[in-house]
Structures are given as C-alpha cells and as structure tokens.
Amino acid sequence: MSNRLPIIGVFAAIILFLIWSSIFVVNERQQAIVLRFGEIVDVKTEPGIYFKAPFSMFEADNVQVIEDRVLRLDLDDIRVQVSGGKFYDVDAFIAYRINDARRFRSTVSGSVELAEQRLRTRFDAALRRVYGVRGFEAALSEERAAMMREVRDQLQPDATSLGLEIQDVRIRRTDLTQEVSQQTFDRMKAERLAEAERLRARGREAAQRIRARADREVVEIVAEAQKESEILRGEGEAQRSAVFANAFNRDPEFFDFYRSMSAYGTALNADGTTMVLSPESEFFRYFRSPDSSNNATPAPAAGAAAPSTSN
C-alpha cells in the first residue's frame, strides 16, 4: 500500500494540472478569445468560468484576454490649418471599445497598441479635414458639436475594419499658435479701437444735434417771450393812453394842470439845475396870477433860479 502512494500522488497531480489548465475565468471588464492551433474557435463576452482543452503549451487551446470596457485614445498638440490659411493647436480624444473580437484578433492580432497606432493616423487626418473646411470661430461656437460628430462619422468605417466601435469624439482644446495669437490680438485691438472711435463720433454727432436743438429752442422761447412782452407792453400803453384820454375828457383844464405840475416836479428838482427861460413861456403859465397881464413876471419856484428875460 505504501508503494502505491507515490503513484496515486502523481496521478492526482496530473489530474489537478489538467483541470487547472482547462479552466479560465472572464471578468466583467474582459472578453476572451479561444484559439486552437492559432485559429479562433470561440469568443467569450460574458463574465464567468469557462473550460477549454488542456495542454496550451502544445498550442492545443490558448486563451487571449482583451478589454471589454470603453478605452480612450488622446491626440495632443495637433497643428491643423483652417479655411483661412492659419494654423491652430488642437487637443482631442476618442472613446472606443472592442465590439468585434474576431476581427480585432485577425487585423491587429488582438493588440490595443497596434490598433491605436492605426486609429491615431486616421484620427489626425479626420481632424485636419474637418478643420480645413471651417474657420477658427467654428470650434468656439455651436458648430463644435457638429464638428465632433463629423469626425466620429469619418472614423467609424476605419474603426469597424479594426473591430472597434467609436463611442464618442471630443475636442478638448483649440488654441491659437504663438504667431497667430499675436496677429489675432493686434487685429482685435484695431477692431476695438475702430469701434471706440465710431462710438465717440456718434456721441459727438448726437451732442451737436442736442446743442443745435437746444439753441433753436432758446431762440424760439426768447422770441416768443419778446413777442408776448411787446404785446403786453402795447396793451399797457394802450390802457395808459385810454386812461389819460378819459381823464382829459372829464376835466381837460385839471388834466393840463396836473401834467404841468408833474413837469415842474421833474424839471425843478433839488439837484441845483439852472434853467433860463422867458417869463412869457407857456411852461410858466400856472405861475402867473390870473389877474396879471401877460408881461407880469411870474413868482420864482422854490429851488430854481429866477427866470430872466432874453432877447
């Protein structure tokens, strides 16, 4: 019995080895390609435990594990030329997954690095084509989403030939190159200065219009006020004349006497004025006595020089 134990152990080890080499596990982030003598016999896309023929060292059955999740390919600092002839630096990336493991194995031997090398070249060409028919402003406007869809659509046939599916394309950055940046800055500065000058010119024009309108309104207001003042002054003079005429018609002698007294008060004031008048002057008729002759000398007014006769 003791001589059989080593033999049993050897057989048990062989059986365990065969079982171990016949089992492979696929998790949720992977898919497996089963190869028999280099030919694809099966593809496992669901997670779980699977069996295969043992003796993989003799190329009986081999398992190649590939990714079953979304992968990302970045493309940085790509210099593209837009429709205006200027160059810009672009950063973009692709989100893709392996959706056809058989084709992926047959075209690039199941190598992600080799597939990305081919995809990178086509991605670069697609970006250049899309930017080449547009201006720089398109990447900063609502057209950006359409540009990304166009790049994705151009890449999809090439990706399908590799067994890949393009999930998304994103443009992360579109920047001016150094020389274009300075040119654009100078152009924008000139545009802003021109716009500022236009605004100032409009402001000066508006100010001139406002001043002209204000000056015209001032002239019109002053003219209207002078017109009204002349009308009121004329009406006042007319009323004054009417009052004087009414007073004269009621008592002409008293009115004449009143006007003479007013004239005496104005002419013979206390400022030392000397007047030389004829005694027979009509101006002194109210200084004469009613009974005196026309040659009688009138009484001198207070504060005035005695009148003298002049030939």
Length of the chain equals 311
DSSP-derived 3-state class of residue 150: helix
User: Does some domain include residue 108?
Assistant: yes
In this prediction, residue 82 carries a pLDDT of 80
Nearest Cα to Cα of residue 67 among 118, 112, 102: 112
pLDDT value at residue 208: 92
Same domain, 157 and 130: yes
Give the residue numbers spanning the domain of 12: 6-64
- Residue 164: enclosing H or E segment and its boundaries? strand 164-176
Nearest to 187 by CA among 91, 89, 84, 90: 84
**Considering the domain boundaries, does residue 239 fall inside one?**
no
Instruction: Please report the pLDDT score of residue 198 as a whole number.
Output: 92
Residues 156 and 119 placed together within one structural domain of the fold? yes
**Residue type (1 letter), 167:** Q
Kindly give the parts of the chain with pLDDT less than 70: 1-5, 10-11, 14-15, 17-21, 51, 53, 55-60, 178-181, 267-275, 277-311
CATH number of the domain that residue 117 is part of: 3.30.479.30
CA 204 distance to own-chain centroid: 23
Segments of 82-122 assigned E as strands:
87-98
User: 150, 175, 200 — which closes off a domain?
Assistant: 175
Cα 288 from Cα 204, distance rounded (Å): 77
- Cβ atoms of residues 24 and 50 within 8 Å: yes
pLDDT for 194-243, tens place per residue?
A: 999 999 999 999 999 999 999 999 999 999 999 999 999 888 888 888 88
Question: What's the pTM value of the predicted model, to 2 decimals?
Answer: 0.50
Same domain, 51 and 149: no
Last residue of a domain, one of 160, 175, 190: 175
